[in-house]
Amino acid sequence: MYLDNSATTQVSEEVFEEMKPYFTEEFGNPSTLYKYGRESKKALNQARQRVADAINAKPEEIIFTSGGSESDNLAIKGIAFKLAKKGKHIITTEIEHPAVTETLHFLESLDFKVTYLPVYENGIIKIEDLKEAITDETILITVMHANNEIGTVQPIEEIGKIAKEHGIKFHTDAVQSFGKIEVDVEKLNVDLLSLSSHKLNGPKGVGAIYIRKGTRLVPLIHGGGQERGIRAGTENVPGIVGFGKACELASQQLEEHYEKLSSIRDELIEKVLSTVPEAYVNGDREQRLPNLVNFRFKAIEGESLILLLDAKGYQASTGSACSSNKLEASPVLTALGLDPVDVHGSLRISLAPESDTFDIDEFVGIIAESVARLREMSPLWNQELDYDGVMCSKHGDDCRMC
Ligand SMILES: *Cc1c(COP(=O)(O)O)cnc(C)c1O
């Protein structure tokens, strides 16, 4: 049972069928004038229309990219480089995706100043903090729509209004929210918005950026002038066609999927919290995606739990309490103000519409059993310990968790 749909999703059969001809007979370069090229160009235009329709944009406001990471980079660097003469201050949050935070760290090395808004225990920013952070130098606000680890949804509409009042460009990363909740660029008041195909049953390596008409930015990739000169390079036609189809399907099924996913999620939350002692939900209970929940179990290591669940056939993730190559506490969970030891006991479950085939009772039973087994071995569970004395060299001295 695959329960890690926030990491990636399976390409749906309909999407795959739509893509197939563009790998074989319809192989033309969309920039050429003869028939093959024209057919590819037509397919690109149709996909562009489908993406635009899904977010209430105009087709000329959609630029195809290689995915969410590129779209985030293009939005942030593109605006920063365009407006550097006007000011060098950017506002963001403490819980952005690395495609945003690492881009901002890079800009800090070029003397840009970045304010990271706190998110508090519920994983949501406060509008007053944003208002206070704005200066005459502020050129860009970038705040994600929904978080990929805990699923909380930010007040994008309100942030957009404030950005507009101050004449500041506003970008949101909508990679996780798109296809799960409504994403309407007019309602959200955004100037730039990032999308990725593989999080919504489309192929990997393709995405888009919405750029509101009249918003100018510096390209990342210079070359043959494709995508209105904003993103050079021969277009990934099969990928873009698949992405277009995935957008069409996702918006047709949005409400039906919302109902289905949120009812599975709520049942899961209710059963986990009533079955497993000392279990909690990370982040706000209301302002969240329908398909994602991040649990916290006291005194266990998330990684060990993942392996026990995997052995039983359930694939989930920790929500990167420690990413696989770094033994670092998750910045997102840390930003919630959790104790460093508690940050490690997390489990992220992210559902897809096809998840309704799984037996929630059986799954919760396995979680309860696994957590109990890990706690039997856990010094944190078995002894009265003063948390101040339990840290390792990464987290502090003599950590018993690592
Ligand atoms: C997955 C993800 C990205 C990166 O998208 P890719 O297409 O994998 O580059 C960016 N932001 C968020 C919130 C994501 O979940």
pLDDT over threshold 70, residue 72: yes
CA gap 150, 95 in Å, rounded: 10
Phi, psi of 348 (to 5 degrees): -105, 125
* Position in ligand 1 atom list of the atom nearest CA 207: 7
CA gap 42, 22 in Å, rounded: 12
Average pLDDT, stretch 253-270? 96
pLDDT per residue as tens digits for the range 303-316: 999 999 999 999 99
Return the pLDDT at 402.
Answer: 52
Regarding the beta carbon of 288 and ligand 1, being less than 6 Å apart is answered no
pLDDT per residue as tens digits for the range 90-124: 999 999 999 999 999 999 999 999 999 999 999 99
Q: How many CB atoms lie within 10 A of CB 278?
A: 14
| Nearest-CA residue for atom 6 of ligand 1 | 68
Average per-residue pLDDT for the chain: 93
CB 119 within 8 A of CB 336: yes
Lowest mean pLDDT, pick from 168-172, 256-260, 291-295, 336-340: 336-340
Helix (H, G, I), strand (E, B) or coil at 95: coil
Average pLDDT, stretch 161-168? 98
Return the pLDDT at 389.
Answer: 45
Average pLDDT, stretch 27-46? 93
- Pocket probe mutation, ligand 1, options 8, 9, 69, max atoms within 8 Å of Cβ: 69
pLDDT per residue as tens digits for the range 360-390: 999 999 999 999 999 998 888 876 544 444 4
How many whole angstroms from 350 Cα to the centroid of ligand 1?
A: 14
CA gap 199, 145 in Å, rounded: 14
Helix (H, G, I), strand (E, B) or coil at 295: strand
Q: Tell me, what DSSP letter sits at residue 197?
A: S
| Nearest-CA residue for atom 12 of ligand 1 | 175
Nearest residue to 339 (alpha-carbon basis) of 385, 306, 383, 305: 385
Question: Which two tokens mark 173?
Answer: 């990363």
Nearest residue to 95 (alpha-carbon basis) of 142, 134, 128: 142
Return the pLDDT at 299.
Answer: 92
Can you spell out the DSSP letters for 205-235?
Answer: S-EEEEE-TT-----SS-SS-TGGGTS-S--
Average pLDDT, stretch 226-242? 97
How many whole angstroms from 320 Cα to the centroid of ligand 1?
A: 14
Determine what percent of the chain is predicted with pLDDT higher than 90.
87
User: In the annotation, is 322 catalytic?
Assistant: yes
Average pLDDT, stretch 155-180? 98
Q: Which CATH architecture has domain 13-250?
A: 3-Layer(aba) Sandwich (3.40)
Q: Tell me, what DSSP letter sits at residue 50?
A: H
Between 384 and 39, where is the model more confident? 39
How many whole angstroms from 344 Cα to the centroid of ligand 1?
A: 23
Where do the H-state alpha helices sit in 177-317? 185-188, 237-252, 254-275, 302-311
Identify the helix (H) or strand (E) that includes residue 281.
Answer: strand 279-281
Average pLDDT, stretch 304-330? 80
Where do the H-state alpha helices sit in 123-170? 127-133, 156-165
Confidence tier at 355 by pLDDT (50, 70, 90): confident
- Pocket probe mutation, ligand 1, options 70, 76, 96, 97, max atoms within 8 Å of Cβ: 97
pLDDT per residue as tens digits for the range 132-157: 999 999 999 999 999 999 999 999 99
CB 139 within 8 A of CB 167: no
| Nearest-CA residue for atom 14 of ligand 1 | 175
Question: Which two tokens mark 154?
Answer: 């930010």
Phi, psi of 153 (to 5 degrees): -110, 130
Return the pLDDT at 400.
Answer: 53
How many whole angstroms from 160 Cα to the centroid of ligand 1?
A: 21
β pairing state of 113-117 and 346-350: unpaired
CB 120 within 8 A of CB 169: no
CB 125 within 8 A of CB 93: yes
> Looking at the chain, which residues constitute the CATH 3.40.640.10 domain(s)?
13-250
pLDDT over threshold 90, residue 275: yes
Helix (H, G, I), strand (E, B) or coil at 373: helix
Average pLDDT, stretch 289-316? 95
Confidence tier at 391 by pLDDT (50, 70, 90): very low
Regarding the beta carbon of 239 and ligand 1, being less than 6 Å apart is answered no
Confidence tier at 356 by pLDDT (50, 70, 90): confident
How many whole angstroms from 75 Cα to the centroid of ligand 1?
A: 14
Domain 254-385 has CATH 3.40.80.10: no
pLDDT over threshold 80, residue 394: no
pLDDT over threshold 80, residue 232: yes
Nearest residue to 345 (alpha-carbon basis) of 396, 278, 291: 278
CB 172 within 8 A of CB 143: yes
- Helix 254-275 to helix 360-376 angle (10° resolution) is 40
Dihedral sign, Cα of residue 282, residue 284, residue 285, residue 287: negative
Q: What is the side-by-side strand order in the sheet with 292-297?
A: 279-281, 292-297, 346-350
Confidence tier at 397 by pLDDT (50, 70, 90): low
Determine what percent of the chain is predicted with pLDDT higher than 70.
93
| Nearest-CA residue for atom 4 of ligand 1 | 68
Regarding the beta carbon of 99 and ligand 1, being less than 6 Å apart is answered yes
CB 305 within 8 A of CB 297: yes
Between 319 and 330, where is the model more confident? 330
**Catalytic pick from 322, 392, 399, 402?**
322
Return the pLDDT at 322.
Answer: 47
DSSP strand E in 143-191: where? 169-173
* Position in ligand 1 atom list of the atom nearest CA 67: 7
Nearest residue to 124 (alpha-carbon basis) of 12, 285, 295: 285
> Looking at the chain, which residues constitute the CATH 3.90.1150.10 domain(s)?
254-385
